[in-house]
Chains A and B, each alone.
Chain A
Amino acid sequence: MPRLSAGARHRVRFALNGRAVEAEVEPRTTLLDTLRGPLAATGTHAGCEHGVCGACTIQVDGSMARACLMLAVQVEGASIRTVEGLAPAPDRLSVLQEAFREHHGLQCGFCTPGILMTLDAYLRDHPSPDERELREVLSGHLCRCTGYAPILRAALAAAERLREDVSHA
């Protein structure tokens, strides 16, 4: 493919929460900055910007990913899902979001979008996780408010509720 030169901006196209979007970016621009800047999707939070804190976790083609550890030019043609894509309607929370509200799984809310995107992907592939497995997957996120216990409770409650929804469907 042609080389994308450092100084210039290049058009990148991908799907964001099911909608086709495009942005003009330099090769060095991270996916995180592209989401929050030109695409104004500020639900994904910028924390440490070097892959440690987990605040910017999103889904790329269904898999969890740190948006700060990806370049926008890498996601040409990909399908990106962010926290803005979770709620089924503007006035309705997803099961996972509702469980976080109910169990006080957030206080300041800074880490929450990343944690939700991790759990959304994880619960899809692992509908019956135990507490140990959830602790393991949550170890990829830093939360300085909750002490994690309410987050675990919310995740377990959401898993249970999602299983019920499937069995009643």
Chain B
Amino acid sequence: MKPASFDYVRAEDRKEVLDVLRREGTEARILAGGQSLMPMLAMRLARPGVLVDVMGVPEFRILSDDAAGLTIGAGVRQAALGALPDLAQRHPMLAAALPWIGHAQTRSRGTVCGSVAHADPSAEIPLLLLALGGEVRLRSHRRARSLPAGEFFTGLMNTAKAENEMIDSVFIPAAKPGVGQAFREIGRRHGDYAIVACAAVADGAVLRLAVGGVADRPMMRSLPQPGDPTLEEALDAFAWDLGARDDLHATARYRRELVRRLGRATIEEAARCRA
């Protein structure tokens, strides 16, 4: 459980970070809060040549919540979300999910963007970003671009981020008035990997359910309204299409059943919260 050797650069500005990425590509890894990368290093699942510590970069400290939405810079820790004023009113799904993101002892260090970059299929933050129609804002020395969450996550711990790019920030649009949001999770304990996590948004006649912990990435689908007789069949089809597998924590069958039941409960809660 000791990391292999690497160089370390404590970057002072964004340009310095992007220069290292340009020069060293796959050999370089961004070190932000370290709560996902450090275990990967300890287990030697990652063996980068150089770590670029971005926590001292002023440009990455941006955390702003305005009429358009919430912008979270690369250096913003998960615990900082909990300190946002009116989080539960302005971003009810984030407020509901926050206690499930790691533990208090890891939220104090881990960053929001770091969890997005890590793209663990059981992690809450990628699921929330997908469910809320979030964007991932990427930057390289050459260009800046923005991808919807649904295009950013491409597979098991895989993303559309190029070697020379980093996540500059993520953006979560402000909840429109009257839109219902809900989040539910089944795990052994808060902070453990989700066995199944569900996030639902009820926006007028449109109802979307995103599910984490089952497929190789968070997946989202539009579903019929609660009370619609076709909902049960649609949830069952979604549960099967996620391709659940048996693992140490739960069987595939149990996960499918959770998608049906927890999915329904989450949808119903979102619909109830809809004004």
Residue of B nearest to A52 (CB): B39
> Please, which residues of chain A bring their CB within 8 A of the CB of B11?
1
Contact A70 B109 (CB under 8 A): yes
Q: How many residues of B contact A (CB 8 A)?
A: 36
CB <8 Å contact, A6 and B34? no
The answer to whether B3 touches A50 (Cβ under 8 A) is: no
Q: Which residues in A have their C-beta under 8 angstroms from that of B106?
A: 51, 66, 69, 140
Name the interface residues of B34-48: CB closer than 8 Å to any CB of A: 34-35, 38-39, 41-43
B22 within 8 A of A: no
Q: Mark B223-253, 1 if CB is under 8 A from A, else 0.
A: 0000000000000000000000000000000
A69 with B190, Cβ < 8 A, contacts A26-B5, A28-B3 known: no
Bound form: Cα–Cα A65–B79 in Å: 12
Task: Give the residues in chain A near B8, CB-CB below 8 Å.
Answer: 3-4, 27, 71, 73
Per the 8 Å Cβ criterion, residues 56-76 of A in contact with B are 57, 60, 63-66, 68-71, 73-74, 76
**Number of residues on chain A facing chain B (CB within 8 A):** 36
A60, B34: Cα distance in complex, Å: 14
Tell me, rounded to whole Å, the shortest Cβ–Cβ distance linking B35 to chain A. 6
- By the criterion CB–CB under 8 Å, are B1 and A27 in contact? no
A90 within 8 A of B: no
Q: Does B7 contact A (CB under 8 A)?
A: yes
What chain A residues lie within 8 Å of B190 (beta carbons)?
A: 136, 139
Q: Identify 23 residue pairs between A and B in the complex whose beta-carbon atoms are under 8 Å apart, listed by A's number.
A: A1-B9, A1-B11, A7-B5, A28-B5, A28-B6, A30-B42, A49-B42, A51-B106, A57-B105, A64-B108, A65-B105, A66-B35, A68-B38, A68-B42, A73-B8, A73-B53, A74-B31, A76-B10, A136-B104, A136-B190, A139-B190, A140-B103, A140-B191
Q: Interface residues, chain A, CB within 8 Å of chain B?
A: 1, 3-7, 26-28, 30, 33, 48-51, 54, 57, 60, 63-66, 68-71, 73-74, 76, 118, 122, 136-137, 139-141
The 8 A-B pairs at the shortest CB distance, nearest first, are namely A140-B103, A49-B1, A27-B8, A6-B5, A50-B39, A69-B38, A140-B105, A63-B108
